[in-house]
Structure 1
Amino acid sequence: MQKIIFYTTILLLTLISKVSAQENSFEGRAKQISKRIDSIVRLEKQALKEQVYVIDKNLEEGIITKSEAMNLKQKAADESAKSIEAKVVVEQQKIEYLIQDKINGLVQYDTIKKRRGTTIIIGSSSNDSINDVTEINLGSFKIYNGEKNKIRRRSKRTTSQFVFAAGLNNLITEGENFENSDYRVWGSHFYEWGTTYNTRIFKNNNLLHAKYGLSVMYNNLRPTENRYFVKNGEQTELQTGSVNFDESRFRNVYLVAPLHLEFDFTPKKFNKEGEAYFRTHESLRLGIGGYGGVRIKSKQILKYEVDDTRIKDKQKGDFNVSNFIYGLSAYIGYKQTSFYVKYDLNPMFKNNTVDQNNVSLGIRFDFN
């Protein structure tokens, strides 16, 4: 009886140590972080959906007006976007710490076979089979357990991507061109990041896809000739500063829902058994569509020096900027990288006598 208890104890301790080692390994910790990010986005979207449902219900019952409902929805969307951004930043820092721990030898991991760009391939030290390796794609926050798992997930009819875009940003003003723009052409930028879903429209044809998702968009403008924005009643104007600005920057942040019809020319593939399957983002791609969303915040940042004292002035407000945004966008590229252009159909300032529409062009990355 004592021998049975002894061997049972040894077996349990062995199992516990194996489970613990897996959880503390690089792969295990990376999976946990990835799951937490997915959970954050899913829960925040569900919470926002429930809030919008309650607001619509109150509107139908006459408890609130249509204007109040729109304000409540915008407030709920703003809070949801801020919450997602804050929580995901924490998890991104954990990924950075995890990678640094791996480099310093402070985390358990299997033998690393190779590393390509943002992808880390990890395999067993005793078996080099492609179906016994783990691929960690840092760009798209995805982990594939073996080649079969990777093919199955990436050839699904609906796949997901992490999207990041950056480039030049400016305003198209009626009667003016970029040579006479009020904003620095090379100094004004935009940034966009978010998650998209890509659904193949036809079951047995890979050409047409519906691409949709949720993004946070940052549009920055840097006025020329030492000027800054001033709100004058319902008008927002550029005025020359009384001090010399080291930097004058105006930023609008939006939460948008992009929707594109994507043409993907990735050809059909076949596995070893001769079965056909489809991949995306492995050839020429073209997307045409648009976006719509709400403004989260507007901020003006002024940096200057007075009596050898450096001053950074942050001004927050609506600056008469339109609360809603909608426009057209398109991209063309190869594999994950594309040339990207977008144009706001609504003017940036809602009451100005001369309409000014935001236009952006740059590079877009779809990490599949």
Structure 2
Amino acid sequence: MQKIIFYTVIMFISFIGKSIAQEKSFEERAREIGNQIEMITKEEKNALKMEIEAIDKQIIEGKISKEKADKLKLKIAEERAANIETKVAIEEEKLNQLIQDRVDGKVKFEPDSTKVKLGGRLYIGYEKFKKDSLNKPKEYKELRTTSQFVFALGLNNVITDGENLENSDFRVAGSHFYEWGITYNSRILKNHNLLHAKYGLSVMYNNLRPTDNRLFVKNGNQTNLQTAAFDLTESRLRNVQLVLPLHLEFDFTPKKISKDGTKTYFRTHESLRIGLGGYGGFNLKSKQITKYKLDGDKIKDKQRGDFNTSDFVYGLSGYIGYGQTSLYMKYDMNPLFKDNTVDQNNVSVGLRFDFN
């Protein structure tokens, strides 16, 4: 379980880092190179100034003649100029590569950003590049499949045969669920953006807090709620599940058209979205947490076991929302406790975030 959490977090950080890097524009990266050239020039000039002042001091102290001092000044000025030329050449090579990346469509370009200052002057050839690049049709790389990090949270409870949620054995506001995972979104139709297959891997945490100072007690193949012999400040049953979700997603994000009108391409998670489907997997672990006071001491117990919970879980789920945020609902078709005389099915309602 810890390995699953670790690798999922690493994938998420990598995904976010890559997205941020791709968003940096041509103008921003060119400005960074320009600032570096200015810093190189400034540092070399300051160093030259200090060296000249040191030579002038030697003249005043009579250590060297003015003629020798002039020769030394010329020599160090030539050395500093060579340093500037060498270091600036490296930065200009970076700029040339940046321009090539822009031509190849690897770097975002903002047409309104027309000035890039390099070393106190406008870089020669930049205006020509800007004119050429704006006149050249932009090429769009079409991705039929994208990935998202999913996080969901909300209220959790159970539906019991013959009862309703108003008479639930569990606190409505105190029972929660959490879910996080990685999903992939594949456009089904080549030339239409409506239908998508959404699939991936998720970890679900379903928490139930009983009412009326009760806790779960396992009696053979039955697991039932019983009143505790002492006052509980906390009573919670948590089930952790690893599932494979699958949804048919209707994405109403309109198609995009390039500025020159020659290309049509598609985006996702920018308009109304509806997902219908389900999930299947297995229960990783069950744990009951109770807190109470005994003889003035605070006691916290953690009881791990299967509690007769279903080993395999499967259910229906759906969501409706706009952009990356949706109203989310899921329902376990398997009973919470596999052998109880009365079936109870877990149900969750909350918010879902698909970070594209």
Q: Please give the range of the TM-score, normalised by the shorter of the 2 chains.
A: 0.5 to 0.7
> For residues 263 and 94 of structure 1, what CA distance do their matches in structure 2 show?
28
Where 2:174 maps in the other structure, the secondary structure is coil
Q: How does 1:255-334 map to 2 (within 5 A)?
A: 255-274=242-261, 275-334=263-322
Question: Which one-letter code corresponds to 1:223 in the other structure?
Answer: P
> For residues 336 and 354 of structure 1, what CA distance do their matches in structure 2 show?
38
> For residues 14 and 267 of structure 2, what CA distance do their matches in structure 1 show?
31
Q: How does 1:1-368 map to 2 (within 5 A)?
A: 81-88=1-8, 123-124=28-29, 126=31, 146-147=107-108, 155-274=142-261, 275-368=263-356
Q: Output one character per residue of 1:260-282: Cα deviation in whole Å (capped at 9) or x when no partner.
A: 00000000101223211000000
Where 1:256 maps in the other structure, the secondary structure is strand
Q: 1:121 to 1:240 in 2, by over 3 A?
A: farther
Query: Structure 2 regions of 5+ residues with no counterpart?
Result: 35-97, 99-104, 110-138
Deviation at 1:84, TM superposition (A): 1.9
Q: 1:266 to 1:173 in 2, by over 3 A?
A: same
The runs of at least 4 aligned residues of structure 1 exceeding 4 Å deviation read 87-96, 119-122
Q: Is the 8 A contact 2:24 2:108 kept in 1?
A: no
Q: Output one character per residue of 1:299-347: Cα deviation in whole Å (capped at 9) or x when no partner.
A: 0000111122111100000000000000000100000000000111110
> For residues 91 and 281 of structure 1, what CA distance do their matches in structure 2 show?
20
> For residues 154 and 106 of structure 2, what CA distance do their matches in structure 1 show?
35
Q: 1:166 to 1:211 in 2, by over 3 A?
A: same
Deviation at 1:89, TM superposition (A): 5.2
Deviation at 1:189, TM superposition (A): 0.4
> For residues 266 and 321 of structure 1, what CA distance do their matches in structure 2 show?
41
Where 1:147 maps in the other structure, the secondary structure is coil
Q: Percent identity?
A: 65
RMSD between superposed Cα atoms in Å:
3.0
> For residues 89 and 201 of structure 1, what CA distance do their matches in structure 2 show?
28
Q: 1:227 to 1:121 in 2, by over 3 A?
A: farther
> For residues 95 and 161 of structure 1, what CA distance do their matches in structure 2 show?
9
Q: Output one character per residue of 1:8-57: Cα deviation in whole Å (capped at 9) or x when no partner.
A: xxxxxxxxxxxxxxxxxxxxxxxxxxxxxxxxxxxxxxxxxxxxxxxxxx
Question: Which one-letter code corresponds to 1:358 in the other structure?
Answer: N
Where 2:31 maps in the other structure, the secondary structure is coil
Corresponding residue for residue 16 of structure 1: none
> For residues 290 and 95 of structure 1, what CA distance do their matches in structure 2 show?
25
Deviation at 1:286, TM superposition (A): 0.3
Deviation at 1:202, TM superposition (A): 0.4
> For residues 260 and 168 of structure 1, what CA distance do their matches in structure 2 show?
21
Question: Which one-letter code corresponds to 1:251 in the other structure?
Answer: R
Deviation at 1:146, TM superposition (A): 3.5
> For residues 265 and 321 of structure 1, what CA distance do their matches in structure 2 show?
40
Q: Output one character per residue of 1:50-74: Cα deviation in whole Å (capped at 9) or x when no partner.
A: xxxxxxxxxxxxxxxxxxxxxxxxx
Corresponding residue for residue 138 of structure 1: none
Q: Output one character per residue of 1:117-168: Cα deviation in whole Å (capped at 9) or x when no partner.
A: xx9867336179xxx7xxxxxxxxxxx96438xx956x51011000000000
Query: Structure 1 regions of 5+ residues with no counterpart?
Result: 1-80, 99-115, 133-143
Deviation at 1:94, TM superposition (A): 11
TM-score normalised by the chain length of structure 1: 0.63
> For residues 159 and 166 of structure 2, what CA distance do their matches in structure 1 show?
11
> For residues 315 and 94 of structure 1, what CA distance do their matches in structure 2 show?
36
Q: 1:169 to 1:145 in 2, by over 3 A?
A: farther
> For residues 327 and 176 of structure 2, what CA distance do their matches in structure 1 show?
15
> For residues 191 and 238 of structure 2, what CA distance do their matches in structure 1 show?
44
Where 1:313 maps in the other structure, the secondary structure is strand
